[in-house]
Amino acid sequence: MQWDSKYTRVTEVLAPFSGLNHIDPRILKHAGERGERVHLACNAIIDKLDYIIDPETEGYVESFHRWMEQEIRMFLPSPKRMFCDDYLITGEADRIYLPDGNFKDLTLVDFKTSAKESKTWGLQGSAYSYLYKKNGYDITNILFVKLDKRGKAPSIFCYEENLKMFLKCLDVYRYFHK
C-alpha cells in the first residue's frame, strides 16, 4: 500500500539502530519474505482462515500455536496502518487483543521471526502504541512474541512505553537522513 511520502515508517527510523545494516541485503530480503509468510499464516490462524505452511515457516507457525494455547485472547480485527501528523510517522502493529476475561487492557502485539531480541523492539512498540492511542485505542500493554524456528515455545517480551526515547531516535534519524 502506498501512502504520502511525507510520513516516515517507524521501522525505517529505527533501522540504523537495529544492527541489520551489517547483514547481507540478500539474507535480509529472504528473512523478510519468510517473515511475511509467517505473519500471513498467524493472521489466518487468528481469523480462522485457511493458510499455507511451507517447510521454512512450519516451525514458526508451530511456535505461534504454542503461544495461542497459553491463554484465550479476543483479537480485534487486523489493525490498519496509523499516521501521525504531529511527528509525520506511520506504523502498523501486527494485532491488538484483549486478554482472557479482561475487557479493558488492550494489548498491542508484534510477531517476530528474528534469531534474537533487538534493542529497537521496545521503541518500535512504543511508537506503535502512541500511534494507536492517538487514534482511539486504549493500549495498556506492549508485547512482542519472538517465534521459534524449530517450533518450540516462543520468547515473550513485554515493554514499557518509552516514546521519549523513540522521539530522540527520530530526531537523530532526521538529522542524518532528511
User: What pLDDT is recorded for position 22?
Assistant: 82
User: What pLDDT is recorded for position 72?
Assistant: 87
Grid cell 518509552 is found at: 162
User: What pLDDT is recorded for position 3?
Assistant: 57
pLDDT in tens, 113-131: 999 999 999 999 999 999 9
Q: CATH fold of 8-177, please?
A: Lambda Exonuclease; Chain A (3.90.320)
- CA 71 – CA 63 distance, rounded (Å): 14
User: What pLDDT is recorded for position 178?
Assistant: 74
All residue ranges of the chain with pLDDT < 50 are 1
Domain boundaries, the chain: 8-177
User: What pLDDT is recorded for position 4?
Assistant: 64
Bridge partners (DSSP) listed for residue 157: 144
